[in-house]
Structure 1
Amino acid sequence: MYDGEAIWSKVDDYFVDRLVNEDDALVAARESSARTVMPQADVSPTQGAFLSVVARIAGARRVLEFGTLAGYSTIWLARAVGPAGRVVTFEIDPATAVVAEENLRRAGVADRVELVVGPALESVRALVEASVEPFDLVFIDADKPSNPAYLEAAVALSRPGTVIIGDNVVRNGAVADPDSSDPRVHGTWGLIDMLGQDDRIEATALQTVGVKGWDGFAIGVVR
């Protein structure tokens, strides 16, 4: 019998073995996700490497991240921006932020990461009000009902050429269910609709399969 999820995971293992340089600090961060408010919700190794590659292609030196968790994706992004770069990341749960801080120090990137604890919407609005320097890449991976508000703030903190990535936009196909009552799906609809209707952004979305199951990314660039 065909077991799609088993094959997806096997293929992910193949790519990780040959393409992904996941060192001890990244492994420790991924495993420590069990101690966070959302265990095993971090991106996969291949997805972390994808974020790093996109950040490097974009020449990103300033990155904004919605949703830190154990800091796994944060480490990938912090390494991509380099020693002179900066990552600002939002985490709502104080205990989870402690786990992330441990991982960032272990990975040697704590000096280039600003971890802001508190509701992401409040934190990002403070950045908008302060008129901070624009970001080169924004990764949206926090509570999904707030996705539209996060995207609007991301655009306000962007410049032409800024890359915006939204995670978990497929949700095992639920995004295509017009009768869904899931607020996470509704937040995803809002994100996709805004990306498609806002002529400040050129965007698309890609479905993914692997150890994280069936999901996907939305990715866009500010015109």
Structure 2
Amino acid sequence: MNQELWMAVDKYFSQAFLPSDAALDHALQASQAAGLPPHHVAPNQGKLLQLLAQIQGAKRILEIGTLGGYSTIWLARSVLPNGCVVTLEVNPQYADIATDNIDRAGLAEIVDIKVGKAIDSLRQLVKVGVEPFDVIFIDADKPSNPDYLHESLKLSRPGTVIIGDNVVREGEVANAACADPKVQGVRHFCELIALDPRLSATAIQTVGSKGYDGFAIARVLY
């Protein structure tokens, strides 16, 4: 098993299940041309997010970490009529690129990009008392994952699904001695989920074009 094989399998599934899509292709190309880091989800993972949101019957989705808007487009296409996606991005340049990509996808009226530190935006959403979200996708700086979880729970309702991306960290998540703050952030995030009686959760390891990683998925019980 190696990266070349994982990429070949991803390519096979993408060709089988995901027809070419001009808006999504443009989002990837524009992000790459602008020098954004290649941290977007893989196409088959984007489709997984869309399916999870559709299964959930999501009308309101919160995304923490917009980057170039690639996963935002997948999520926005899943919301019910009159639904919305609120997405948080700290980097104004990334937000501008995401805005253009989302506009090109015809989703500008559905997506609200809030620029600033995600933790500040989350606390402001809590402060103004926004309606709870049906799906929350956490895909930003990993050391802050515990804080994002804490605020996300305030923006949830019974039944809300919370998805944390990049939790495997090439297997280092199992290494308690790892000093990488990203790994420690993910470990603390997972430990908080496991200890919270309000949450029922699991994690899924993945391999593919994005390497060896995975998702944590939790459902708010009460």
Q: Do the structures match in fold with TM over 0.5?
A: yes
Aligned-partner Cα distance in 1 for 2:180–2:35? 20
- Report what 1:20 is aligned to: 18
- Per the alignment, residue 48 of structure 2 pairs with 50
Cα deviation for residue 35 of structure 1 reads 4.6
TM-score between both structures, scaled by the size of structure 2? 0.97
Please, what is the CA RMSD of the aligned residues?
1.1
Query: For each residue in 1:60-80, what CA deviation from the matched residue of structure 2 results, as whole angstroms up to 9, or x when unmatched?
Result: 000000000000000000000
What is the match of residue 100 of structure 1? 98
Query: Matched residue pairs, number?
Result: 221
Partner of 1:114: 112
Secondary structure of 1:127's counterpart equals helix
Letter in 1 for 2:117: P
Structure 1 gaps, min length 5? none
Distance 1:36 1:122, change over 3 A: farther
Q: What percent identity do the matched residue pairs reach?
A: 52
Structure 1 residue 195, shift from structure 2 partner: 0.8
Query: 1:31 Cα deviation (Å)?
Result: 2.1
Task: Output one character per residue of 1:148-174: Cα deviation in whole Å (capped at 9) or x when no partner.
Answer: 010111111000100000000001011
Determine the structure 1 residue equivalent to 2:216: 218
CA deviation digits over 1:157-211, x for unaligned, max 9? Answer: 0001000000000010111112111110111011100110000010000000000
| Counterparts of 2:41 and 2:128, CA distance in 1 | 30
The answer for the alignment partner of 2:82 in structure 1 is 84
Deviation by residue 1:98-151 (Cα, 9 ceiling, x = unmatched): 100000000000110000000000000000111110000000000000000101
For structure 2, the residue ranges without an aligned partner over 5 or more in a row are none
Matched residue, 1:62: 60
TM-score w.r.t. the length of structure 1 is 0.96
The amino acid of 1:167's aligned partner reads D
8 Å CA contact 1:56, 1:80 repeated in 2: yes
2:28 to 27, 30, 50: 30
